[in-house]
Every structure is written in C-alpha cells, then in structure tokens.
Amino acid sequence: MILTVVVVLMVLHLGGELLLDELNRREVRRHATEAPPAVAAMMDAASYAKSVDYTQAKLSFGMITEVFDTLMLALVVFSGVLPWLYARFTPLAPARSWIDALFLIAVGALLSVPSLPFDWWGQFRLEARFGFNQSTLGLWIADKFKGAALALVIGFPLLWALLSLVRWVGQWWWLWGFALLFVFQLAMIVLYPKLILPLFNKLTPLAEGDLRTRLLALADRTGFRARTIEVMDGSKRSGHSNAFFTGFGRFRRIVLFDTLMNQLAAEELEAVLAHEIGHYRRGHIPKMLALSAAMQLAAFGAIAWLAQSTWFNPAFGFAAGALAPAFLLFGLLSGLVTFWFTPIANIFSRKHEYEADAFAREAMGGPAPLVAALRKLAQKNLSNLTPHPWYSGFHYSHPTLVERERALTKVI
C-alpha cells in the first residue's frame, strides 16, 4: 500500500512538472514572434528573441532532467539498493550514530553522481550557448570536490549529533533536533560569508569612490548599518548577476556581484541595494526564519513519527525504528508532497518582493531607478517575460517584471 502511494505521488509530481513546462512552452511560443506591448516597452526585439530561445532551451532541458530524476528516484527507492547498502555499513559499528551518519553522507554522494553529466551539460553547453558560462572545466570539478568536502566536514558531525539525540534525550529527540538544526543555521548565517563563501569566490572591499559613497549614504539614511560592502567575482563562473546582504547585527555585510556592477549605472545599483535593504527594514528575514523554523519542526515531527511506525521503514526494506533510513527516505520523498505547496510559499515571497520594491521606490524618491535596473537585469539575464500563470505560480518566487513595474509605477 505504501509503495503504491509513493508510485502515485511520483507519477503525479512528474506529470505536474511536465504539464507546467508544456503550458509555459506554449505560452512563450505564442508570443515568440511579437512581444506583448508591455513587454516590448521593456526589452528590445533582439534581446526578446534571444530570451525566447533561452527559455525554450531551458524548458526542453528541464523536462529531460525531470524525467531522469524521477526514474532515478524510482530505481533507488524500489530496487532495494538502499537497504542493501545500509546492511554493508551497520556491521562496521553496530548501533553507532557515526556509522549511520557516514551512511547518509555516502548515499548523498552516490546519488549526486548520476546528475553530474546534466550539471555539466547545463553549464558548458546550454549556458555557454547563450553566453552566460564563464567557468572552466577545472573550476567546475574543483567546485564539486569542495562541495563534497564541505558536506563531509560540516554535514557529518551535524548528522552524528542529530542521530545521537535519541540515545541522549529519548523520545523527544526531535524537538532537540529541531533546536540544534535551527541554531546551526543561525550560526551559518554569520560563518558562511567568512569561512565558506571565500572557498569559492573572492570577496574584495568596494573601492573608495562615488559608488561606495552613494551606497553607504543610502545605508545610513535607510537605517541599515552594514559592516562592509564587498564585491564578489561572480563573473568567473557565470554572466548572471545578483546582489545580497548576509549576516546580522555587527556581522552584516553587503555583497555585489561584479557582473551587476558592470551592467548597472550607479543610481540603478543604489536602487537594487535599496530593494535588498527593504527586505531587512520590512522584517522579511525574521518572518522567513520563523516560517522555515515551523516547517523544520513539522519535518522533524514527521520523521520521528515515521521512524517509529511499523509500516514506513519496512515498506522500503529497513527495520522499523531505524532513524537514519527514516531521515533518508523522508529527504528523498518529501518533495513529492511539498511540491504542491510551493505556490503558497511563492505568494508570501512575492508579497515580500512587492514590499521591498515599494521601500526602494520611497528610498530613491521615485520608481525610475529601480525600473531601469530591473529592465536591464531582465535583458542581460534573458528573463522570460511571458510565463504561463500556472508555471509562474509554481516556479517564480518573484513577480514577473511586468507585474513589478505595474506595482512600482501605479499611483498611490
């Protein structure tokens, strides 16, 4: 019965993804020869035509990867390879949390291998075809090894601690597990830009000059005191651009991609930063942390319940009560359910984006700088400006450019 439910969930998930892709493909194709008037005002004809090609190529590639990922998930879950592998690990140190943690790390590493050719193709064929790839094969391989090393160095002790909680605190381990993971995430907000991000990218302080003066003045007048403004060499991997702030309190810092600095004028960069500050000033960060905490607490409760049930683990070849397999199976299968709730999460995310845009409009004395910045970024990143509403609802955490510009320029 459990396996039947999982099969149905897999079919529904894949069918839903493919349906959304096809609806989006048709919507983009419908406007391929002539952009809607609102879109034509935002992007020149050549860039629009290229964005249509880019969107179609990504959709086709995405449909292939979705089918492959579903087939791999079915193979892994139903073939019996997971309990077979678990049986190879457990005799090495019976009933020891560290061997269970090592099992989870090993399975994660093995499951990432089949997707490597798709990652490579996406980077060095699809992205390169449209001029976005700036990476080299050596850098790409180095990134994979660094990611695997970090998973071992950071993930292993965290998993060991989580799996040990049952022995340390008993049946309420999942409450302590939630608290441990939440504290770990808060610590990573501070430590990531200082210890992990520099392993992949070079961060340099923004040079003295008009831009730095403008951005610091913006931070002062909007009540956002940042410790530093840094420039990240995102261009060594991709032509896409971004800006963000990280950390909190006295550890807060602003990070600008070098690609963003090359694409936007000073006033437009100021508007983009004002948008990011808007997320902070409107309290979006603690709200999202609270939502994330609630979801994590529910996830830990579900894992504890499933692990102790007499039907979940045995359906997949594991012993009832085994915590590590329950963690693994929940991680593999939960996305089949949570996928259907992504539009709800995106509604909240879009609300925050509108609020941050409104904050930036106020901080800049009008919508023009942010509108100009958003138009340039859409053009440089070949954004899809005519997505199908259903596809947008499931896959877009931000409003479309047309929606954002309409909200920015409406009379209040």
Task: List the catalytic residues.
Answer: 276, 357
Give CA torsion, residues 189, 193, 197, 198, to 10 deg: -160
Whole-angstrom distance, CA of residue 18 vs CA of residue 385: 20
Helical axes 266-281 vs 284-308, angle rounded to 10°: 60
What is the identity of the amino acid at 279?
Answer: H
Do the beta carbons of residue 226 and residue 254 sit within 8 Å?
yes
How do strand 203-205 and strand 253-257 relate by DSSP bridges? unpaired
How do strand 253-257 and strand 228-232 relate by DSSP bridges? parallel
List b or e across 163-174, with b for residues whose CB sees 16 or more CB atoms inside 10 angstroms: bbbbeeeeeebb
